[in-house]
Amino acid sequence: MSPSFADQTLEVRDLVLERGERELFHGLAFKLDSGELLQLAGRNGSGKTSLLRVLCGLSRPLQGEVLWNGQSLSAQEDGPAAHLAYLAHLNASKEELNAEENIRLSSALQGRNIGREEAWEMLGQLDLRGFEDLPVKFLSQGQKRRVALAKLLLSARPLWIMDEPFAALDVQVIQVLKACMEDQLKRGGMIVLTTHQAVPIEGPQQTVTLGDAR
């Protein structure tokens, strides 16, 4: 049974972020509640991916803080990894392992025991049936992206952070991912994403537009 999430909050307060000597944004603030989706908008170079990395705890802002359920991420003993799953621009899969092994390894690192049947079912939904035992290094870029998606979709984390999740996907797989995202929201989970593709997702949502790059 898929887990349900409730009474979760993600809040950004007075965030200032720089790249080199250039300020990307100043005083950024927003709050996301259970069951909500937030889309980051803005031109290339405006800091969307940089902000995702801050939310994941992979980068530090110059100023401000990120709070999970009212507590600063930097002050939490278990850190952000216990609350979120991150789909980065790079797929971050082990090239020598096959698709099933990548999924099960990722789940094990999160403290979950994913069986072969569950892994294969997800791969089948993402149109990877017949590729379960093939080392990831032999897959196409689109197939590698779907392996990365499978790891996130089976993560059982309340917060999904997704950088261009629809990139390199065909129409059929986009519809599967759309349904999974809507299910995440219905269960009280949250999603923060960047995307250049207009894929309507049902559920409460908001948009934060970052300033133009200078």
The dihedral region occupied by 157, where left means phi > 0, alpha psi between -120 and 50, and beta the remainder, is beta
Is pLDDT at 3 greater than 80 in this prediction? no
| Confidence band, pLDDT 50/70/90 cuts, at residue 213 | very low
Cβ atoms of 73 and 9 closer than 8 Å:
no
Taking all residues of the chain, what is their mean pLDDT, rounded to a whole number?
91
Q: What is the DSSP string of 31-86?
A: EEETT-EEEEE--TTSSHHHHHHHHTTSS--SEEEEEETTEEGGG-TT-GGGTEEE
Locate 40 and state its tokens.
Answer: 């980051």
Q: Beta strand 190-194 with 84-87: parallel, antiparallel or unpaired?
A: unpaired
C-alpha 19, offset from chain centre: 22
Tell me the fold of 1-83+157-213: Rossmann fold (3.40.50)
pLDDT of 197: 87
Nearest CA-CA partner of 15 in 44, 40, 33: 40
Is pLDDT at 188 greater than 50 in this prediction? yes
pLDDT of 149: 96
Query: At 112, which amino acid appears?
Result: R
Give tens-digit pLDDT for 117-138: 999 999 999 999 999 999 999 9
Task: Locate the domains of the chain by residue range.
Answer: 1-83+157-213, 92-156
pLDDT of 214: 42
Is pLDDT at 176 greater than 90 in this prediction? yes
- pTM strictly above 0.85: yes
Q: Locate tokens 């349904």: which residue?
A: 179
Portion of the chain with pLDDT greater than 90, in percent: 77
